[in-house]
Structures are given as structure tokens and as C-alpha cells.
Amino acid sequence: MAAAVAGNTKEELPPPLDSSAELPALFDGTTRLYISYTCPYAQRIWIARNYKGLQEKIKLVPIDLQNRPAWYKEKVYSGNKVPSLEHNNEVRGESLDLLKYLDEHFEGPSMLPDDPEKKKFAEELLAYCESVIGASYRELTAKGDVSEEVVAAFNKIEESLSKFDDGPFFLGQFSVVDIAYAPIIERIQLFYSALRNYDITNGRPKLALWIEELNKIDAYSQTRRDPQELIAGAKKKLGIN
């Protein structure tokens, strides 16, 4: 599978830059991807970079979001969020926009199929992703059974994975949709298991298979963090002891 092969270069990850770090030499011809190792939105672009085999062409610059350098907002990206991409003397942000930008401006395997029906479905799924995030994260600290809204969101994912039968992914073959959903589902599965005692794959065989196959893809697996680190971060953010 192209997706598994494209990202199989193991790289040594640089340490995150904190408030004491010096500003990189901006706009010196180096393409830089500013990320946080634990941010799901930044992880999307990190996966895409790996999938397209751009490890040598796009330099990772991890930022410590808990102690970020002042220069990041002042000199690099006024939005002060990750991810952002420094390329061709400009800095761009927003993960879904950057996924499209990477596919249009860099070499490597395309992240979208040629099939018009699949392209249309991809747009629908990318638009729906924020609804999944909103519904799921709102209920992490709730008591009692998981709400019908959240169950319906997970069921819609299961249904979406059943649309094309030429592979286990959303569009059959691995695509930008899987890249967009992977960091989100990774965290939702962890957090619902740890905080709500709820298995999102129970009764959803397509989703279970999707997660299994996703974990075989180097471009994604190399971006995964220790689950306990993610759970600890979620608990801190939610004020859970």
C-alpha cells in the first residue's frame, strides 16, 4: 500500500521549543511546519507530510504550547496556534486548509482520489468532522450513559466507512479524510475508554477495522504519542484529578 510505504522513514524528533528558545532564521528558504506533538490538528499536517514523503523537505519545529516562545505570535504566526506552515516567504495556518495546500504544492502521493463521487463525499466528511469533535468533547465529563447525540455521531462514522467497498478507509483507499479524522478518533477512543468506560468500536466493526488498518500506516503511527500522556493532558484540561 502506497500509504504505508510513503512515510516509512524513521526520523529523530527535535525537542519542543519553549520561551527560552531562539527564533529560527525565518524566510531563509527552509520550509518549516510548526506543530505541537500532542495537538490533534497539528498531527493532521504531520501525518500528511510523512505520507507524501516530505520529511527532508519540510522541517518539523515543535512548540511547547504550555510555555510557548513570545516570538511565535509576534514573528511567525499571529494566530498563535499550531499548526502553521512557513513556505515561499509566507506562513499559513488552519489544519484543513494546510492539508489542501500540501497536496496542491508538494510532490508525493495525492491525498484525494480522482473519482468525482469520492471527492464529493470527502468534502462532506471533512465538513462533518467538527461536529464529531464538538459532540464528543462536550460530553467527556458528563455522568450516566453516553448521549444519543454522541452515539449518533459514532454511528454516522460507521455508516460512512461502509459507503465504498474497495478498502477499509473512508474513501476505500487511504486519503485526506482518514488523515483528518485519525488524530480525532485516536483521542476520542482513548478518552471515552478512560473517562466514560465506553468502547466506541463496540458494535461498529467498520470503525474497529479502520483503526486497526490505520495503525499499520507508518505515516500515521510515527506521529502517535503515549496514550497515557494524552489522557493526562485531557484530564488536566478538563480539571479532572
**In the prediction, which pLDDT does 229 show?**
93
* For range 51-60, the mean pLDDT: 97
Degrees to nearest 5, angle at CA 42 with 40 and 47: 90
* For range 37-63, the mean pLDDT: 97
Beta bridge partners of 87: 90
Which has the minimum average pLDDT: 2-6, 92-96, 138-142, 159-163?
2-6
pTM: 0.94
* For range 134-155, the mean pLDDT: 91
Q: Rounded to an integer, what distance in angstroms lies between the CA atom of residue 226 and that of residue 229?
A: 5
Phi and psi (nearest 5°) for 91?
-120, 125
Interval 176-220: pLDDT, tens: 999 999 999 999 999 999 999 999 999 999 999 999 999 999 999
**In the prediction, which pLDDT does 10 show?**
74
Confidence of residue 9 (pLDDT cuts 50, 70, 90): low
Of the candidates 175, 138, 132, the one whose C-alpha atom is nearest the C-alpha of residue 154 is: 132
Confidence of residue 4 (pLDDT cuts 50, 70, 90): very low
- Please report, as a single letter, which amino acid is at residue 205: P
Interval 114-139: pLDDT, tens: 999 999 999 999 999 998 988 898 88
DSSP-assigned letter for residue 63: B
- For 123, the grid coordinates are 468534502
**In the prediction, which pLDDT does 5 show?**
41
Phi and psi (nearest 5°) for 105?
-115, -5
Confidence of residue 36 (pLDDT cuts 50, 70, 90): very high
